[in-house]
C-alpha cells in the first residue's frame, strides 16, 4: 500500500512538472509574440558641425540606446587630421565596422544610435533596408542647421580643437558640401529641433 502511494506521488509530481513546463512554454511563446519589443536603430543625419554628436549624446541619455559615433572611433585610431594619406580608405573601413557592430547589437535586441551623418539619400535608404532586414525599426533624426552656423561652429572647433573633433578647413568644408544631400520631404525623418 505504501508502494502504491509513493507511485501516486511520483505520478502526480510528474504531471505537475509537465503542466508547469507546458505553462512556461506557452507563456514564453505568448511573450515572444506579443511583448517582445522591436529594437530601434536611430540614424543621425546631418552635415559637419550640425550638432549630430551633441544630439546623439542627449538621445543616448534619454533612451539608453548604445551610441556609436564613428568619428570618435576614427580619431582614436588615426587622429583628427582628415588630410592624411589613406584617410578616405580608413574612414570607409571604420564606417563599415561601426555599422556592423551597431547591427550586431540591434540583432540581439539592443537599441543603437548610429551617429554618422548619412549625407546621401542612397545611404539612408540602404540603412533603412538593412535595419528592416534584421527586424528592427529605423528612426532617423535630421539635424537641420543653417550653413552659416555650421561654418561658424567648424571655425570655432578649429581654434579650440578637442580630442574628439576633426580639424576641417573652410576649403574642405565647402568641398564636402558638394556631397551633402539633405533629406527630402518624401523621406521619413524627425527634425531633431522638434524633440523635447
The pLDDT assigned to 29 comes to 45
Q: For residue 101, with 0-12 CB atoms within 10 Å meaning exposed, 13-18 middle and 19 or more buried, which class applies?
A: middle
Which SS3 state, helix, strand or coil, does residue 96 take? helix
The pLDDT assigned to 157 comes to 86
pLDDT tens sequence across 96-149? 999 999 999 999 999 999 999 999 999 999 999 999 999 999 999 999 999 999
Low pLDDT (below 70) residues in the chain: 1-36
Instruction: Tell me the C-alpha to C-alpha distance, in Å, between residue 195 and each of 1, 139, 143, 190.
Output: 74, 13, 11, 8
Q: Which CATH topology does 40-194 take? A: Rossmann fold (3.40.50)
The pLDDT assigned to 164 comes to 77
What is the 3 state secondary structure string of 121-173?
A: HHHHHHHHHHHHHCCCEEEEEECCCCHHHHHHHHHHHHHCCCCCCCCCCHHHH
Q: Which three cell numbers stand for residue 71?
A: 568619428
Residues 6 or more apart whose Cβ sits within 8 Å of residue 166? 71, 75, 80, 81, 82, 157
Of 195, 139, 165, 161, nearest in space to 49 by CA: 165
Residue 120 near residue 181, CB atoms below 8 Å: yes
Question: How do the domains of the chain map onto residue ranges?
Answer: 1-36, 40-194
The pLDDT assigned to 3 comes to 53
pTM, two decimals, is 0.79
What is the 3 state secondary structure string of 4-21?
A: HHHHHHHHHHHHHHHHHH
Amino acid at each position: 500500500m505504501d508502494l502504491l502511494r509513493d507511485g501516486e506521488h511520483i505520478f502526480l509530481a510528474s504531471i505537475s512538472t509537465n503542466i508547469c513546463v507546458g505553462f512556461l512554454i506557452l507563456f514564453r511563446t505568448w511573450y515572444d509574440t506579443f511583448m517582445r519589443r522591436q529594437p530601434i536603430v536611430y540614424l543621425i543625419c546631418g552635415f559637419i558641425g550640425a550638432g549630430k554628436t551633441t544630439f546623439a549624446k542627449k538621445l543616448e541619455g534619454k533612451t539608453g540606446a548604445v551610441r556609436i559615433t564613428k568619428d570618435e572611433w576614427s580619431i582614436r585610431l588615426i587622429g583628427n587630421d582628415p588630410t592624411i594619406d589613406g584617410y578616405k580608405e580608413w574612414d570607409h573601413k571604420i564606417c563599415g565596422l561601426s555599422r556592423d557592430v551597431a547591427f550586431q547589437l540591434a540583432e540581439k535586441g539592443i537599441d543603437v544610435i548610429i551617429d554618422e551623418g548619412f549625407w546621401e539619400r542612397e545611404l539612408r535608404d540602404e540603412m533603412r533596408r538593412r535595419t528592416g532586414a534584421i527586424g528592427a525599426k529605423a528612426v532617423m533624426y535630421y539635424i537641420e542647421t543653417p550653413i552659416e552656423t555650421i561654418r561658424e561652429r567648424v571655425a570655432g572647433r578649429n581654434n579650440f580643437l578637442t580630442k574628439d573633433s576633426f580639424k576641417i578647413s573652410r576649403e574642405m568644408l565647402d568641398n564636402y558640401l558638394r556631397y551633402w544631400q539633405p533629406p527630402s520631404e518624401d523621406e521619413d525623418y524627425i527634425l531633431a529641433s522638434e524633440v523635447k
